[in-house]
Homo-oligomer: A and B are copies of this chain.
């Protein structure tokens, strides 16, 4: 196993009506003037935005509001948020929503505290030295951004999607009320479950440093999400299932399921990032559409892990060769994705890419990872193109 750091300072306040504690938590973490940052109109329709505004007012905490964070959140809105924060002397950002609003809030937080162009961090040119403190009221269980150190932003020019990670942006608190996720469209719920599982699977399929306890936690988390994703398909209002998935979403991406390993593979994410940048597809669906092709391309290079996953997570029959078991696990995963109406290739995802498009994506992806990347198997541009082609 490898040495590791584990740092998850976010105070999680989990359960029914926990959003009632918003003002109290903002005050606890020093917020006196808040930017409330959100995505579309759902937080207005649900009454959440209105409720939060009233709570802050009652506590005497000033605020300003910026909506409009879209899936694959845009750099343009980040710049707008930075300007607004500076103009209004904002000292705390409160993100209402899922990964889009939170990631956008994190980028705004970097931009307020650090001089120069915030895109520099996402473009690997500089490192941030701080971030405005931020809190979250989570309404979509998916990206795990509510506890994670990462954020992903898309630069509109050239549709370049890049992630940047540092402990500075880990939220001070995360309010998680499973009820707030119940109004999500079924497709988004399934995308979220896929994203959550993929955050753990990216850490699981590696060739270095695995710990038994980390595997146990990862496998248990995956089984839980797999089971509850199906429950939510049939009964989106099931509180317990919402809660299981929501808490799993945070644990899947706060570092817990990667302790001791080499950092994970992450190539499915990288391949999807290019898709997401070009086609604005839902992140979770994009991951599902790519994963099977990636897995079949790499499993022989990471056979013990694929076998373990097949047996312990997918529960396939323990018979035949290791390769047969591994392949059965990949098939079972695709069956599962289909069962919750997720795509398992680009066609089902609705992406009509020409071979030219695939070549462009592979090129951009290779540049994005600095040439080659992966732990289950190191992939270069040629490999990436092969996987894109197989996923058509």
Contact = CB atoms under 8 A, between A and B. Distances in A.
Contact of A3 (B3, B16, B217, B244): B16
A243 interface: yes
Per assembly, the copies of the chain total 2
Contact of A243 (B14, B211, B251): B211
B211 A247 contact: yes
B9 A14 contact: no
Contact of A12 (B7, B221, B244, B248): B7
Interface stretch (A114-122, A126-134, A223-231, A261-269): A223-231
Nearest to A224: B213
A13 B9 contact: no
A371 interface: no
B14 A3 contact: yes
Interface string A4-19: 1111110111111010
A243 B1 contact: yes
Nearest to A9: B9
Contacts of A7: 11-12
Interface residues of A, number: 37
A260 interface: yes
Contacts of A251: 213, 217
A223 B216 contact: yes
Nearest to A246: B213
A220 B214 CA distance: 9
Nearest to A220: B216
Contacts of A13: 5
12 contacts: A1-B240, A5-B13, A211-B243, A212-B228, A212-B244, A213-B220, A213-B247, A216-B219, A216-B220, A216-B221, A217-B220, A217-B221
Interface of A: 1-9, 11-16, 18, 211-213, 216-217, 219-221, 223-224, 227-228, 240, 243-244, 247-248, 251, 256, 259-260
